[in-house]
């Protein structure tokens, strides 16, 4: 038995524990078969064994990519009592964690405390890390930022004359943690530099050794009168390999991962008079239709699903994974991974590939920053939502300003972007945009909801680009798009 297991190991195959219950002769047979056929799936389990014994092995297409999905962070519902102190712990956690990112900079490695700064008189060199508790303008248009740390708070002045810094200061938002350097004179602290925690620049732009694709969709809104059933059917047909040009079908064969980033159904009672916009008025039925679509996807595609704000679950973030009662059959599929919103996954850590960290976030907070931050509005607002995602990545937080998303306080601030991702994918804004920030692919997903000028999303100000699906080739990290209109 040991010898056979070693044979598998030497060829890079791993056996699921249930296979170790088999007879050694059965495993020997399995080994001969996978070895002779250069079988590409490296983790062998009972269902593969069953396929083999049913003489179905030949039909498992060895051209399909080898896949791997690992959940790095998915947040379950916490059942703890919230006290006033929970908020204090929550913000302390944010202060501590984001401070640690900022302290990697030489300018901020040794910062002064707010108390210290307040007690000193004229000092030529000050550095401080603090949470932004207030932003105001003087009558001369100079900006005053109140920075708070556990010892107290200080007011920082950024003069309009210092035009570069003044421009940068326009991107400061309430409740985020930033660093500053400056000097103190006549009771004022004048900033000469502002630091956002930012994403590291020395990360590798990882590429896989094999050609494998990941597709990203969100906001299907099944149940809505505007749901684009025909386009979505065409998309599923393409994933199945039964639609598209020969090249497009070739790509679908190499599709290893499908991320579905929330708002899979339109929900019930999400906004006033929603019933007028629904063809399916029963949420269970909406989820049943979604299930029917997803069940058609072949097993070689790993499907990762997180909820959005339309999905009949708690909308405070992090949103726990979908309740089983809605998607029972999908929970039973072995190529489906259900996660919270937001969630962090590692995919494709297979032979010759380091694996890619994917941050998926439905994107409830994106509305706030599209509308509230001048520089983002000027950059295109809802039409350039990838800029908003980049903006949040630089802040290392998915919703820094209190109220930009609903949240459940706990002793840990789970919206901090603690893990540096390779790919960030969001939904909610219904607008497909892609960009690259340092080594990170930023993708904001489209939707499968027709633009009528009157959908709820459009009334919110979103500018949908429906039924367009971005696909990343993990070998090149190039993003291409497929139009299912």
**Distance between alpha carbon 352 and the CA centroid of its chain, in Å?**
25
Nearer to Fe ion, 176 or 263 (CB): 263
Please give the residues from 70 up to 129 whose contact with Fe ion meets the rule CB under 5 A: none
For 34-68, the three-class secondary structure string (H helix, E strand, C coil) is HHHCCCCCCEECHHHHHHHHCCCHHHCCCCCCCCC
Closest CB to Fe ion among residues 363, 400? 363
Binding mask 261-280 for Fe ion (x = CB under 5 A): --x-----------------
Kindly state the smallest distance separating residue 221's Cβ from Fe ion, in Å.
6
Distance CA 421, CA 214 (A): 15
Of the residues 208, 224, 309, 455, which one makes contact with Fe ion according to CB under 5 A: 309
Distance of CA 410 to the CA centre of its chain: 21
Question: To the nearest whole angstrom, how small is the minimum distance from the Cβ of residue 311 to Fe ion?
Answer: 9
CB of 188 to Fe ion, least distance (A): 44
Least distance to Fe ion from the beta carbon of 93, Å? Answer: 27
Q: Interaction with Fe ion in 207-226: which residues (CB under 5 A)?
A: 219
Q: Does 176 bind Fe ion (CB under 5 A)?
A: no
Sheet holding 478-483, edge to edge: 336-338, 302-306, 255-261, 213-217, 468-473, 478-483
Q: Counting Cβ atoms within 10 Å, is residue 161 exposed (0-12), middle (13-18) or buried (19+)?
A: exposed
To the nearest whole angstrom, how small is the minimum distance from the Cβ of residue 254 to Fe ion?
A: 29
Q: Which residue has the tokens 């429906």?
A: 466
Nearest residue to 459 (alpha-carbon basis) of 367, 365, 385: 367
Query: Using CB under 5 A, which of the segments 53-61, 110-118, 300-308, 337-345 binds Fe ion?
Result: 300-308
HSE-CB at 297 with a 13 A cutoff on CA atoms is 26
Which listed range, 61-69, 326-334, 337-345, 425-433, lies at the site for Fe ion (CB under 5 A)?
Answer: 425-433
Q: For Fe ion, which stretch binds (CB under 5 A), given 167-175, 223-231, 305-313, 334-342?
A: 305-313
Least distance in angstroms from the C-beta of 429 to Fe ion: 8
Tokens for 386, please give them.
């990838």
* DSSP label of 416: B
Q: Kindly state whether residue 428 participates in binding Fe ion, applying the rule CB under 5 A.
A: yes
Residue nearer to Fe ion on the CB measure, 126 or 304: 304
Q: Which two tokens stand for residue 370?
A: 């599209």
Report in angstroms the alpha-carbon separations of 311 from 59, 221, 261, 290.
Answer: 37, 9, 11, 11
| Segment interacting with Fe ion (CB under 5 A) among 248-256, 309-317, 350-358, 382-390 | 309-317
Cβ nearer to Fe ion, comparing 205 with 271:
271
Q: How far apart are CA 367 and CA 381, in angstroms?
A: 9
Angle between helices 246-253 and 229-240 (to 10 degrees): 70
184 binds Fe ion (CB under 5 A): no
Cα atoms in the Cβ-side hemisphere of radius 13 Å centred on 209: 7
Nearer CB in complex with Fe ion: 400/427 = 427
**The two three-digit tokens of residue 206, written as one number:** 């990882």
Cis ω for the linkage preceding 88 (within 30 of 0): no
Closest to Fe ion by CB, 219 or 390:
219
Taking the complex as a whole, the smallest distance from the CB of residue 305 to Fe ion amounts, in Å, to 14
Task: Give the CA count within 13 Å in the CB-facing half-sphere of 350.
Answer: 20
Q: Specify the stretch interacting with Fe ion by CB under 5 A; choose among 31-39, 120-128, 275-283, 426-434.
A: 426-434
3-state secondary structure (DSSP) of residue 385: helix
Question: Rounded to the nearest whole angstrom, what is the least distance from the CB of residue 308 to Fe ion in the complex?
Answer: 4
Contacts with Fe ion by CB under 5 A: the residue count is: 5
Considering beta carbons, is residue 19 or 359 the nearer one to Fe ion?
Answer: 359
CB of 356 to Fe ion, least distance (A): 25
Rounded Cα–Cα distance for residues 172 and 174 (Å): 7
Which residues within the stretch 380-419 sit at the binding site for Fe ion (CB under 5 A)?
Answer: none
Min separation Cβ 393 and Fe ion, Å: 20
Residues β-bridged to residue 158: 143
- Which residue, 9 or 459, has its beta carbon nearer to Fe ion? 459
Q: Which C-beta is closer to Fe ion: that of 99 or that of 309?
A: 309
Q: Does 308 bind Fe ion (CB under 5 A)?
A: yes
Least distance (Å) between residue 362 CB and Fe ion? 6
- The footprint of Fe ion (CB under 5 A) covers 219, 263, 308-309, 428
């Amino acid at each position: 038995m040991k010898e056979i297991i070693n044979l598998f190991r030497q060829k890079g195959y791993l056996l699921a524990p249930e296979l170790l219950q088999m007879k050694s002769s059965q495993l020997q047979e399995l080994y001969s078969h996978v070895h002779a056929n250069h079988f590409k799936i490296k983790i062998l389990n009972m269902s593969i064994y069953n396929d083999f014994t049913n003489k179905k092995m030949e039909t498992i297409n060895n051209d399909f990519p080898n896949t791997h999905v690992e959940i790095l962070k998915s947040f379950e519902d916490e059942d703890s009592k919230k006290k006033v102190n929970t908020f204090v712990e929550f913000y302390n956690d944010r202060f501590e964690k984001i401070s640690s990112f900022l302290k990697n900079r030489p300018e901020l490695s040794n910062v002064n405390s707010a108390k210290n700064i307040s007690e000193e008189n004229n000092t030529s060199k000050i550095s401080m890390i603090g949470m932004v508790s207030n932003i105001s303008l003087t009558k001369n248009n100079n900006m005053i930022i109140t920075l708070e740390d556990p010892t107290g708070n200080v007011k920082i002045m950024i003069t309009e004359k210092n035009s570069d810094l003044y421009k940068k200061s326009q991107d400061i938002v309430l409740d985020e943690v930033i660093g500053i350097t400056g000097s103190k004179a006549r009771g004022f602290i004048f900033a000469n530099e502002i630091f956002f925690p930012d994403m590291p620049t020395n990360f590798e732009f990882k590429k896989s050794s094999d050609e494998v694709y990941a597709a990203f969709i969100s906001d299907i809104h099944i149940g809505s009168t505007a749901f684009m059933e025909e386009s979505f059917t065409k998309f599923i047909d393409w994933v199945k390999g039964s639609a598209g040009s020969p090249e497009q079908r070739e790509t679908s064969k190499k599709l290893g991962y499908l991320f579905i980033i929330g708002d899979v159904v339109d929900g019930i009672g999400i906004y006033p008079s929603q019933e007028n916009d629904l063809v399916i008025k029963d949420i269970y039925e909406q989820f049943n239709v979604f299930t029917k679509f997803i069940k058609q996807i072949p097993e070689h595609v790993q499907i990762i699903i997180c909820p959005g704000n339309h999905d009949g679950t708690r909308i405070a973030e992090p949103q726990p994974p979908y309740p089983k009662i809605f998607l029972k059959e999908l929970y039973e599929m072995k190529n489906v991974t259900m996660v919270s919103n937001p969630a962090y996954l590692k995919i494709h850590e297979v032979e010759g590939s380091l694996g890619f960290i994917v941050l998926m976030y439905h994107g409830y907070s994106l509305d706030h920053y599209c509308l509230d931050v001048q520089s983002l509005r000027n950059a295109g607002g809802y039409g350039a939502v990838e800029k908003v995602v980049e903006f949040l990545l630089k802040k290392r937080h998915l919703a820094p300003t209190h109220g930009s998303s609903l949240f459940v306080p706990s002793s840990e601030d789970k919206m901090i972007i603690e893990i540096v991702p390779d790919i960030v994918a969001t939904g909610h804004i219904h607008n497909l945009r892609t960009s690259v920030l340092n080594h990170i692919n930023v993708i904001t997903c489209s939707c499968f909801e027709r633009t009528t000028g009157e959908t709820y999303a459009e009334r919110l100000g979103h500018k949908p680009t429906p039924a367009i699906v971005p696909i990343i080739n993990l070998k090149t990290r190039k993003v291409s798009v497929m139009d299912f209109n």
